[in-house]
Structures are given as structure tokens and as C-alpha cells.
Structure 1
């Protein structure tokens, strides 16, 4: 190929490249927003989901039954002091509960459902302590003599005291333990850092054994090296079940359905907590004004800037505009004109929802 042919080929490629870029950029961008989609009612969507005919039930049941042969191995791993972590596609709730009801009958079992929106971990620790105390009382008489006579009620103890009791050297017998079954340890009710730290401390107790399941691909990011290898001491098992998440899905808000004010507040709270403290303070100034003047169309920009400048929240209008752009991009703040023709800023939330949001970001 001659030099001129090569040059012509490269020129043609460059010309086509820039032509394609020009044509792509000339198209009109859609001004539509996700919030403008006409969403269906949540109850209607749930009813439609419930009427979907299940598929491959026989194959799924056969797969679940095939795991029964591993139950004795799982019990052995627990007795050796490891925690069991089940992962793989599909709901593992039925599998874990069948394992507990058939292979862990000699032990007390406490179930935690992480797919719930909130879990009372203090009550879980109290229940574990009470079950362990009952086990200790059924042991030989010589052991009872070493136990305190006037036992302080567990519900009055702090979380640290409960963990100390569960980790105490009450018995030399390692077989005396309570098993904790955690469905979706990566669920919304257990996902925050503080809860995971407490779960790890519970799992590290000498009289506690933990069996848990994960479903999110990034679930291991919840733990550091110490939590994985020392506290939880996970023994990983790949147990895909391909079973539908029927129970777990009931407690998750549906993406294609209208959401209530509680979910809106939760979403707004997550967005605000990801912003800087100054940005949160600016939002609170606007929220406080709206709560104090519910009948007004909103807060004029100049008024907001004056207050934020006095409180040293912003140094210039450019800084305030940057915060407002962030709010508007997430649809936390909108603009409308008042009766005087002046543009005002307002938060598109009901008074009750706004009060709850302000309370959450103030904690």
C-alpha cells in the first residue's frame, strides 16, 4: 500500500469520527425526569407480582434437598468455632431455617431477619443472654455453685455488659452455646457500621455461633480484616438456591411503584448525609424557614444568602449556588414565583415529612 493511500485512509477515518461526533451531539436531549413517569400503585404492583406463576419448583426443591447431606459438616464447622456464611444466587431463608430445625435441635437458636427495615439488636442480645443463662442452670450442680445468686435482669444491662456475659468463662464445655441465625446480614436493618461491629462482637463470644447469609455483591465491604478472620471467623459456603426472594421482597419498596412519605424522607436523608456539613446546614436554614412560614410560597434567594452569610455557612453567592444546584439535581429543593414575581426556594415535602427529615439529619 502506497503512502498516499495510507494517508487517505487515515484522513477518511478522522473525518468519519468527527462527523459521527457532530451528528450525535446535534440530537435533542430529553427533558424528561424519572419523577414525571406515571407510576402504578404499589398494592396493584404487589398483587401482580404475587400472581406470577413460579417456575422450576421441582428443580429448586431437588437442589435444596441436595444440601441436606452437608448439614452434618456444617454442624461440625460450628462446633469447631467457625461462623457459617452462606452466599449464592437465590433466597437462602428456607435452607437456613431447615438446617436449624433439623440439625441444630440440641442448641438454642435465635433468628434475626436483616431484610426488615429495623432490628432491635439490644433485644437480640438480651434474648441470647437469657437462653445461655437457662442452659447454664441446667448444667451439673457444681457449676451452679459458681454462678451469681442474685442475677441482675438482662434487660437492664448495657450492650457491653451483655456481650461480656456471653463471652464469659462460665463453662469449660465448649458445647454450651447459642446459635444466631441471620437472614441477610447485609440487609437494610443491619447494614450500618455500628450494627455490624456489634454483630461481629457477638459472633466472637465464646458461647455464640453464627450462621448468616448474604445476597449483595458488595456485602464483604461491610467488614474489615479483623471482623472477617477473627470475630466472625467465617467459613464460606457457596449454596445457590435459585429460590425467589418472596418474603425478603415484601419489605423492600418497589422501584416502579409510588412510594410513601417515609421512603421519601429516607431517600432524602441518605442524599443529605452524603453532602458536606455546610451544605446540610444550608438545607436546614431553608427547612426551618419553611416550617416557620408554612403559608408562604418559599424563601427568597437573597434572604437565604443573608442568613447563611451571617452564620458563616457560605462565603459568596457562588458557594450558595453550588449547594442549591446539588439540592436541585436531587430534587430536594425547587423554585417557584411568589405573588410579587420573585423566585423563591422551597422543599417539596409535606410538613410532617420535613420535620422528620430535619430531625434525622440533626442527629
Structure 2
């Protein structure tokens, strides 16, 4: 027994020594291997426009099979229309762009109804303008039914709450009379915030409004609680994979391994600025004009406030700060510390791009 115990102990010690030898040998070999000096920034990326053109020229595959698949969806158009008439909203999901499919459904089947389109794949969307357009269309239909005798207050002067109240309470003789709101990518960047989804849900709950929407993100259903999904939106889900490329939707997203295109930066900045108030645009112009005349330095916040106050663009520092917060949220303006210690504002665009942006918003 004693000999066996000693033998087992010796075997364990040898195993531990062998493990130690292997460990230090591995460390020694690892330290002797030459490490690559290449960095991610050394990758020779192509121009964004060139990459987009190459992507557009990729030849599609399995065209016959995809055509048969789309034909099967066309055969479902009457079912989709019946769902809308019964008060449901349509939610299309599945791999591939569903933009062309939904637009074809609307152009072929919804010819008797007014249609408003929301491109949710855009970075910014003015939802109130959409609701105003829906209210105007529905009001016209009500007038056609001779149910409105008094003059309606202009919709563009009403609040979002007033507009939704009007849409919810409006009465039309024909129950089959509704305005259809088509939303491409209801999970898009311009519609993802909770407040916007709440407004869309309330819009969908109106008696004479119908929603046809598409989603592409796997977590998109997390936007809605049980009440929103089953009561307000009242979704009728349809799995419609099209295997179509996201050509239009992808135009507004930066490409991986591509240089940022100046034209794309101008387009994005112009879209954001055009969605802001005229006063906010004027404040941005003041900052842009200063940067064009002083390209090497940012504009001190106090100087911007003084100029804007003189031009009656802002009434207080609080108003200016609200504009600056909006600019910073959209990455139109950045803050940097000047050599004398004061905070200065800088627009992260080249001189040429900044000039183009000013032309776009003018």
C-alpha cells in the first residue's frame, strides 16, 4: 500500500512538471513569433461612390424563382385588401426589400383610396407633416360626403394632439372610406424612438386610417407592448421574403470599408437642416459663414449668441442652447476647446461641402 501511494504521488508530480514545462514552452514560442505591424487604418478602402456603383451592377441570381415567389404574393392582394377593410393593419416581414412589393400592392389594389407614404429608412422624418397630410385628405373626403358645414381651422396651426383628436373623432357616412398610410421600414432610424411609435399607434387606432408597414430588424416587435400591437395597430402579420436588395434604403446608410463621400455628407446634412425650423437654419448659417471666413478656428459660443441676438434669431441663451443641442444630436456641430480655454463650435464638414450645404438649404 505504501509503495503504491508513493508511486501515485510521484506520477502526479511528474504531470505537474510536464504541465509547467509545456506552459513556459508555449509562452516562449509565443514571444518569439513576430507580430504583424499592420493596422486597421492601413486598409486601402475604396471611394464610397465607386463602391455603390459596383454594388448596383451586381447581377441578380435566381430571377425565375424570385418571380414565381412575387407572383404568389400578388395572388394574395385580395386577402390583404380584405384585411384592411376589416380594420386590420398589415405588417410585412421577411428577408429582402419589401418597398417595391408594397408599392405595387398600393398602386394595383388601393386605387379607390387616398394613400400617404412614409419612408422610414430616412434618417429624419417630420411626422407632424405626415399627420397634417392625412388630416387634409380625410377632411376632403368628409366634405365630399357633405358632413362638414363649418370652416375647419388650418391643420398646420394645430398641435399634434389636436390633429390626432380630429382624426379619431371624424365621422364619415361610408365605413369603407379610409386613408391608407404606407410606412416603409417602420423600424427605420427616423421612427425608432418611443414617442414616434406611440403617435403611429394612435394614428393606426383611428377608425378611418389603415396602416401598411414593413419591418426588417429582428427586434422590431419590441417597439410595441401588447396593447399597441393587438389593439392600436391591430397587426395582421405576413411573411413575405422577397430576396430583393435594399438598393433605395441602403443609399442613406454609410458603407463599410468605404471613404465617406462628400456628396453623401452634404445630402445628409441638408436633409436634417430642412427638417428644422427656419430660425434653427438661420443659426446654422451664421455658424457656417463664420467657419468659411475663419476655416482654422471654431466660433466661440458667446460670439454666436451675440450675432444671433443682433439678427433677432434667438431671444435668450436657452433658445440658442436648444438649437445647438439639436445640431449636436444630429452631429452637424461639434464642440472643441480653443487654446485660450473657451469652448468653440465647429461644423465637421470641408469648406466645399459646407458651401454646398448652404446652397441646398437656401
Other-structure match for 1:41: 47
Are 1:32 and 2:33 matched, yes or no?
no
156 and 29 in structure 1: CA distance in 2 versus 1, 3 angstrom threshold = same
Are 1:228 and 2:229 matched, yes or no?
yes
Q: What is the CA–CA distance in structure 1 between the aligned matches of 2:108 and 2:207, rounded to whole Å?
A: 23
Tell me the SS of whatever aligns to 1:99: helix
Q: What is the CA–CA distance in structure 2 between the aligned matches of 1:28 and 1:58, rounded to whole Å?
A: 50
Within the candidate set 44, 55, 62, 2:61 is matched to 55
Other-structure match for 2:3: none
Contact 2:49–2:261 under 8 Å retained in 1: no
Other-structure match for 1:92: 98
Regions of 4+ moved over 3 Å:
2-31, 260-264, 294-298, 347-352
Other-structure match for 2:328: none
User: 1:41-62 deviations in whole A, cap 9, x for unaligned?
Assistant: 1111122122222222222122
Tell me the SS of whatever aligns to 2:116: strand
Are 1:189 and 2:190 matched, yes or no?
yes
Other-structure match for 2:70: 64
5+ long unaligned stretches in structure 2: 1-7, 269-290, 299-333, 340-345, 355-362
Within the candidate set 126, 133, 137, 1:120 is matched to 126
Other-structure match for 1:288: none
Contact 2:182–2:213 under 8 Å retained in 1: yes
Q: What is the CA–CA distance in structure 2 between the aligned matches of 1:86 and 1:160, rounded to whole Å?
A: 28
Contact 2:164–2:202 under 8 Å retained in 1: yes
Other-structure match for 2:259: 258
Q: What is the CA–CA distance in structure 2 between the aligned matches of 1:150 and 1:161, rounded to whole Å?
A: 16
Are 1:200 and 2:201 matched, yes or no?
yes
Residue 167 of structure 1 deviates from its aligned partner by 0.9
Residue 251 of structure 1 deviates from its aligned partner by 2.3
Residue 63 of structure 1 deviates from its aligned partner by 0.9
119 and 28 in structure 1: CA distance in 2 versus 1, 3 angstrom threshold = same
5+ long unaligned stretches in structure 1: 267-290, 299-331, 339-346, 356-363
10 and 182 in structure 1: CA distance in 2 versus 1, 3 angstrom threshold = farther
Tell me the SS of whatever aligns to 1:167: helix
Query: What RMSD in Å do the two structures reach over aligned CA positions?
Result: 4.2
Residue 89 of structure 1 deviates from its aligned partner by 0.4
Tell me the SS of whatever aligns to 1:254: coil
User: 1:189-214 deviations in whole A, cap 9, x for unaligned?
Assistant: 22222222221221121211101001
Residue 4 of structure 1 deviates from its aligned partner by 9.7
Q: What is the CA–CA distance in structure 2 between the aligned matches of 1:153 and 1:85, rounded to whole Å?
A: 32
Tell me the SS of whatever aligns to 1:45: helix
Other-structure match for 1:239: 240
Q: TM-score, normalised by structure 2?
A: 0.65
Tell me the SS of whatever aligns to 2:117: strand
Q: What is the CA–CA distance in structure 2 between the aligned matches of 1:223 and 1:66, rounded to whole Å?
A: 30
296 and 252 in structure 1: CA distance in 2 versus 1, 3 angstrom threshold = closer
Residue 254 of structure 1 deviates from its aligned partner by 1.4
96 and 297 in structure 1: CA distance in 2 versus 1, 3 angstrom threshold = closer
Q: TM-score, normalised by structure 1?
A: 0.65
160 and 348 in structure 1: CA distance in 2 versus 1, 3 angstrom threshold = closer
Within the candidate set 105, 112, 117, 1:106 is matched to 112
User: 1:252-274 deviations in whole A, cap 9, x for unaligned?
Assistant: 2212211157869x9xxxxxxxx
15 and 136 in structure 1: CA distance in 2 versus 1, 3 angstrom threshold = farther
Tell me the SS of whatever aligns to 1:85: strand
Q: What is the CA–CA distance in structure 2 between the aligned matches of 1:219 and 1:22, rounded to whole Å?
A: 50
